[in-house]
């Protein structure tokens, strides 16, 4: 169809970002899952102790009631902290984003792996659709401020030139992009 190297390069950059972000969100999901254990396991243990405190021989009813009330207060505090930190919500969001980025990256990989005459989709329409999906996922991600060093889409081309074609630019001198090869990152300034 109408596939060219520039479109494939942009799609590959999106795919590379998807791989990185999927791994990052998987890591975050596992972090929240591990953190959740530190709240759930003690809550279970304290609940069992609170429920069985009455059966302990040698403790009168008043002491048993005081201990149960204290344990219930600790459980309430732990549960409130977990809810305040949104551990379950963040864990679920990170898992969903990881899966979504992985699916997007795999779809782009599948398309780019096919010979261009067998892709059965217009390149610009496909690029716009996948870029739109990528932007929606990125907007819902909490990682936005942390990914700029690894983001393939945020890297500036190295072949920016000043309008007077000198190798050094003065502050305030407008930069223009070399449109003959705007994504050539191997040409240094």
150-179: pLDDT as tens digits:
566 655 444 434 344 444 434 444 434 343
What mean pLDDT comes out for the span 115-143?
91
Give the residue with greater pLDDT, 52 vs 185.
52
pLDDT band at 127 (very low <50, low <70, confident <90, very high): very high
CB crowding 15-44: b at 16 or more within 10 Å, else e: bbbbbbbbebbbebbeebeeebeebeeebe
Q: Average model confidence (pLDDT) for the chain?
A: 80
Task: Give the pLDDT confidence score for residue 33 in this predicted structure.
Answer: 95
Task: Give the pLDDT confidence score for residue 55 in this predicted structure.
Answer: 75
Q: Model pTM?
A: 0.70
Task: Give the pLDDT confidence score for residue 30 in this predicted structure.
Answer: 96
4-42: pLDDT as tens digits:
999 999 999 999 999 999 999 999 999 999 999 999 999
């Amino acid at each position: 169809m109408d596939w060219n190297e520039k479109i494939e390069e942009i799609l590959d950059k999106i795919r590379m970002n998807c791989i990185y972000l999927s791994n990052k969100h998987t890591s975050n999901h596992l972090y929240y899952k591990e953190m959740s254990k530190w709240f759930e396991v003690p809550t279970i243990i304290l609940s069992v102790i609170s429920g069985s405190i009455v059966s302990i021989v040698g403790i009168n009813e008043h002491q048993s009631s005081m201990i149960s009330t204290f344990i219930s207060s600790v459980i309430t505090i732990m549960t409130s902290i977990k809810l305040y930190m949104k551990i379950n919500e963040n864990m679920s969001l990170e898992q969903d984003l990881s899966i979504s980025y992985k699916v997007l990256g795999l779809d782009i990989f599948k398309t780019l792996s096919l010979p261009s005459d067998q892709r059965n989709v217009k390149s610009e329409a496909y690029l716009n659709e996948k870029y739109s999906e990528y932007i929606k996922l990125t907007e819902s991600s909490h990682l936005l401020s942390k990914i700029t060093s690894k983001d393939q889409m945020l890297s500036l081309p190295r072949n920016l030139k000043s309008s007077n074609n000198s190798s050094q630019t003065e502050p305030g001198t407008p930069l223009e992009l070399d449109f003959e090869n705007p994504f050539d990152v191997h040409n240094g300034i």
